[in-house]
Structure 1
């Protein structure tokens, strides 16, 4: 998420680990949020030159062209601190500042119910895996029960919850149908202080009674540095 408006776009080739320029957005954006679905990249963000007709840009990775998707009016057009996600084939956009979430349903934007918006608003990180929405709050991972319209605890992760206690910058990501959790930990508080990035891999088990359990399969340090740094985002790619 950037605080400086820009229309520039860079693409990374995960095979060669090299960056190249991609077609620029038609307008500069700031405080943007990005999500991906069905070969298209949805970039949500606002600056003083945007309105409801060009507030969201959609990049088609096949044609390498940009188009606009109209967004609901006043509540989101000037809102910062935005989040977006595809869940159950529907685009959701949330404004932390306005404390409201909209979803695109049959071509029209509608507000979501209180439970969905409230739970998402409490999260420090989230991901969607096989049409289930997961989010992290404190030391606990929750999933959204769309039938009961309530957030449930992802059970079976007591040992991991203890490891996450008092750790900052926790991020969830879909890792091939499993949840990968990344967080940072300071080895010492002396300067330059050494920072470690941890990763845990969680398998998901859907049970007949409707419950979803997590099984911790692996956890370890994946990166260590003594240079000033912080974990800001996590993304899984398929090569």
Structure 2
């Protein structure tokens, strides 16, 4: 059970002509200033599969509100955003096989429509957008020539692009998890960086080439969980604060890590004991986390709320990055342990 605020859709489900209402909103949006919103896919396993929530202000405080009009998703989907659209690929719920389903959510109206299926079902695939194409990678056993599938956003069709590699055709010449289940992926400098359970991978679509980041790679030092890109830099969290601060930043040009100074470990949630997702919201770093605070070692008194931390960033001329916590608050009261599947930003 979860305490939520509901957001209903104006797509006609509450009465009236949905086409007319959507056209009215389109006309209004043409004259409105675009804004960014944060969407979170949150489930409560094993009883409730993930549903979409939106982060917004209610009475001057941030809250996650449940979006009634969007159906639940099976866990393990891959999600990318382009403008006001969220593209959703695959997913799966054991013992059933992974899904081939693809859909797109229009975040202006909170409506969803189906798109052409993938060739293969995928669970925890990597995905990234480059040059108007969505690259969906892995999430399934490496066999055949369709381990990577490419969706053209303009034509709304799947296209075939061969991949250059050595050894096994169309595959990287290094070992990855046999089932292709990936942890995180991010687009940086027009390359898709993938966090695998066994290694770190980079795919460059323009050259259609793979690269494996070896043990000597600097990127491997701190990238082990959720991350996001702000101003072409990769932001993530180091729970141990090895460099002195909990938020660390990777510069792909300098191939080095630096810290966000000014944000202390005590200002954040204890990340050694929680699950979190980070996102870029208008140039600010937003952290959604499930805070697990156990009082007296009694499970019944565990604090299970989802918290939101908003951090403003400032980059100085010398490359130093400063940050300060703008807000830190509980945004969703939960009576079961939540699982944050995704945290994505859209422009509406």
Which TM-score bucket, shorter chain as reference? Answer: 0.7 to 0.9
Give the gaps of 5 or more residues in structure 1: none
SS in 2 for 1:138: coil
CA distance in 2, matches of 1:181, 1:48: 32
Q: Which has the larger radius of gyration?
A: 2
Match of 2:124 in 1: 31
Spell out, residue by residue over 1:188-229, the C-alpha distance to the aligned partner (whole angstroms, 9 max, x if none).
Answer: 655496621111112221112221222222222221122453
Match of 1:72 in 2: 172
Q: 1:58 aligns with which of 150, 166, 183?
A: 150
| Alignment TM-score, normalising by the size of structure 2 | 0.59
Spell out, residue by residue over 1:82-140, the C-alpha distance to the aligned partner (whole angstroms, 9 max, x if none).
Answer: 2322102222234222x2322417503233463344135x4221111121111122162
Spell out, residue by residue over 1:149-205, the C-alpha distance to the aligned partner (whole angstroms, 9 max, x if none).
Answer: 221122111166443354411111111222111101247655496621111112221
Aligned residues: 236
SS in 1 for 2:346: coil
Where in structure 2 are the equivalents of 1:91-110 lying within 5 Å? 91-97=192-198, 99-104=199-204, 107=207, 108-110=209-211
Match of 1:88 in 2: 189
CA distance in 2, matches of 1:177, 1:5: 35
Aligned CA-pair RMSD = 2.8
CA distance in 2, matches of 1:92, 1:49: 18
CA distance in 2, matches of 1:50, 1:223: 42
Matched, 1:172 2:278: yes
Give the gaps of 5 or more residues in structure 2: 1-75, 77-90, 164-170, 241-245
CA distance in 1, matches of 2:151, 2:266: 37
| Alignment TM-score, normalising by the size of structure 1 | 0.83
CA distance in 1, matches of 2:328, 2:135: 32
Q: 1:13 aligns with which of 106, 131, 134?
A: 106
Q: 1:127 aligns with which of 228, 233, 238?
A: 228
Match of 1:163 in 2: 269
Where in structure 2 are the equivalents of 1:134-213 lying within 5 Å? 134-138=235-239, 140-158=246-264, 161-186=267-292, 190-191=299-300, 195-213=304-322
